[in-house]
Structure 1
Amino acid sequence: MHQVFPAAQAAGSVSSLHGLTGLTYQLECAGRPLLARRQPEAGQEIPGVNRQREYRLLRKLSAADLAPEPLGWQSPWLLLAWTPGENAAEMPGDSFEQQLLPLLCRLHRQPPVGAPLNLPALLWRYWQLCHPRDKSARWLRQLRRLTNRGVPCALRKAPLHLDIHRGNLLQTRQGLQLIDWEYAADGDVALELCMLQYGEVITPAGWARWLQRYASAMSLNAGVLSQQVEHWRPWVRLLIASWYQLRYQQSQDGELKILAREAWRQIEKSQ
């Protein structure tokens, strides 16, 4: 990092931040907290993670006060401004859901940033990277079925974060702020909503009402939007299962193994 960003020589401290990819570091330079994110090394590729693309995307979204300011990119490091705030993990459910709605609407009203998501190619890359022992017939069958079907026609294209959960949201003076944009890309807003629902970021009991409010704020037909979310569901199931499978292979983390098994079980139940 010192070779890429000479100013980092003055860093008073460098510490790894907890996360499932383990590629993010906090450092302090001349009293200013910064964030450094490394491109995955060979053998540890994470499909969809590209720091150069992330840098370009953040330059556009930070101008709209939606994302952290990127300070520089030089392979393999991306340097970002630190976002002060408290993690949203302990926020009361009602308050969290109320504050997430306008933030997501602001993001989804932005024009595409020039980083289109190719979900079929992404899913095939997960397949290619996994060890042959982990490649089941059910996985290949589902992958071929979805590829032949093709992705749903987008209801509305916009920048998507694609990894929204409480751990990636901070409470700041300006309200909720999204962090960790490494999977972000342009795509259908209904895909993002499907991922929110699948991960129960919005409580199941409050989902229908929350989706109605989102549709109203975005001038979308709630019934059509709900159907579009359902069209994305098999894609989201396979994406989540593929992610857990590859990350378990790379990390040998027992918790990821359990999550991968559960994700595949959900796919089997849906057949």
Structure 2
Amino acid sequence: MARMSWQEACHLDESLASLDAFFTLPPAYAQTLTGGLTNRCWKIVLSDQQAYVWRPSTLITQAFSISRVQEYQILKAIEQTQLGPKPIYLNSAGLLVEWIEGKALTHDLGFDSLLKSLVKVHLCSVERMPTAPFNYTARVDHYWMSLESHYKVEPYLSIYQRWRSQPNLTHVGIALCHFDLAGYNMIDTELGHRIIDWEYAGIADPRLDLALCIDICQEKPLEAVFRYCQLRNIVEVDDWVDGVQAWLPRVTMMALLWYLLAHQLWGDEQYLTQAQQLVESFDE
């Protein structure tokens, strides 16, 4: 993380200047945060050491269909659970949230602990959450349409066309979903494990979120689903197994398009390499 004066930070990222109306006095300093792929965020520290995270709205967040307004609404709705950071301030330039102090669980989180946190997310009430349900087909179509023509070739085209439709599944209800839950987005704190980076979160089939976790962590699907259902006291396990298995190739395709779009936006070859590895997984 690069640490610099507030004035220098505002010079590098003009969105930070939008916070002048919020802070009584200029912050002591700001630091760039590493680790996020979509979000180029800042840690802001005041003279009394109180800290925040600034999550700007940019052309990049627009490209990935990320809404800071929706992120704020979700964090506000679950504020009492203390699962995520407290939302502090929202404006047209971005979202300010609390800085969660603790140890990042990038390499120290067992999958069972991850599932327990996932269950907590899925059990949050969505009745009064003012967000539209997640539309899988609309999201992958947005990614595809945002790609330049030289990406819209084989084998990407066939994979996209085959898996762009939402699966026809037995309904198990909808839930709050994080859509990027892994150790790199979890912090070990005095209050237990807390979750950060809710920018992709939405209301959807929880089996989609579970499939994403299984895919990210490279876990065995059947074992993961059975353990998840055990944690939630779910008896109709077959509906969850069928659902996760139906979602798995779709979340892989969605990730494939994400990496292609990331390569288009940033030009980093690692994203194209990741996309190619996902293509090969369809041949296994």
SS at match of 1:183: coil
Q: Which residue of 2 aligns with 1:191?
A: 208
SS at match of 1:163: coil
1:3 counterpart (5, 12, 18): 18
In the alignment, the residues of structure 1 paired with residue 281 and residue 116 of structure 2 have an alpha-carbon distance, to the nearest angstrom, of 31
AA aligned opposite 2:62: E
Residues 1:210 and 1:229: Cα distance change in structure 2 (over 3 Å)? closer
Say whether the 8 Å CA contact 1:108–1:160 is kept in structure 2.
yes
What's the offset of the Cα at 1:46?
A: 3.1
Instruction: Say whether the 8 Å CA contact 1:53–1:115 is kept in structure 2.
Output: no
Contact preservation (8 Å) 1:57, 1:115: no
Pairing 1:254–2:272 present = no
Write the distance in 1 (CA, Å) between the matches of 2:97 and 2:167: 33
Find the counterpart in structure 2 of residue 109 from structure 1. 123
What is the rounded CA distance, in whole Å, between the counterparts of 2:230 and 2:183 in structure 1?
24
Moved more, 207-216 or 176-185: 207-216
Give the residue type in structure 1 aligned to 2:27. Answer: A
Q: Percent identity?
A: 22
Could you report, residue by residue, the CA deviation over 1:153-173 in whole angstroms, capped at 9, with x for unpaired residues? 442310000001211111111
Alignment partner of 1:218 is 2:232: yes
Q: Please, which runs of 5 or more residues in structure 1 have no aligned partner?
A: none
Q: How many residues align?
A: 261
Say if 1:32 and 1:255 are closer, same or farther in 2 by CA, change over 3 A.
same
**Secondary structure class of the residue paired with 1:90:** coil
Aligned twin of 2:173 = 156
| 1:21 matched to 2:38 | yes
Amino acid in the other structure paired with 1:111: S
1:129 is aligned to 146
Instruction: Please give the TM-score of this superposition, normalised by the length of structure 2.
Output: 0.84
Distance in 1 (alpha carbons) for counterparts of 2:204 and 2:233 = 18
| Structure 2: gaps of 5 or more residues | 1-15
Aligned to 1:235: 250
Contact 1:51 1:78 in 2 (8 A): yes
Q: Is the 8 A contact 2:214 2:224 kept in 1?
A: no
How does 1:37-52 map onto structure 2 within 5 Å? 37-41=55-59, 45-52=62-69
Map 1:68-107 to 2 at 5 A.
68-91=85-108, 96-107=110-121
> Does the Cα contact within 8 Å between 1:190 and 1:225 map onto a contact in 2?
yes
TM-score, scaled to structure 1: 0.88
